Structure 1
């Protein structure tokens, strides 16, 4: 099992547009991912966020090779689409999670 966390930080000025994009385009892109076995798309609640909001996409892959394939191809495509639509109003952070122990 291999896990990737992608966080999208959006400014308040695009919150309505981001919510619509999240519900339609982004959700559909995630549903169509072949390499990801499972996913969780979440709004992030945090006391540390004073401005804007964060959305997180947690992707679970069968192995590191599938995760790396995703990062090299699909992550690049998703990032380009979002940046073309929203520009600097969305920052995207990817985090590789390497489970030591798990129970699903």
Structure 2
């Protein structure tokens, strides 16, 4: 029973002790809270960047797959590349023109 009374009394006194913080304790708490807020913002930014990086990786994979498919189609068609203008070849390489008609 004594321990229960002691615990209840201690629980009632602790919040009051927290209210009587020294100015340096208050400043230290503010510094810690500000650092926590900055760290939370950095972590949120890192999450956004990770998501953007994953999407960019997916786009890069698709670009490689498209290039492989276009390359295979050109080789399979055995096109007369010598008769094409340089502009047409450049457009095919830049993915601005159909590889095979």
TM-score by length of 1: 0.24
Please say which structure displays the higher CA radius of gyration: 2
Higher strand share: 1
Specify which structure has the higher proportion of helix. 2
The TM-score with structure 2 as length reference comes to 0.25
Compare relative contact order (CA 8 Å, sep 6+) and give the higher one, 1 or 2: 1
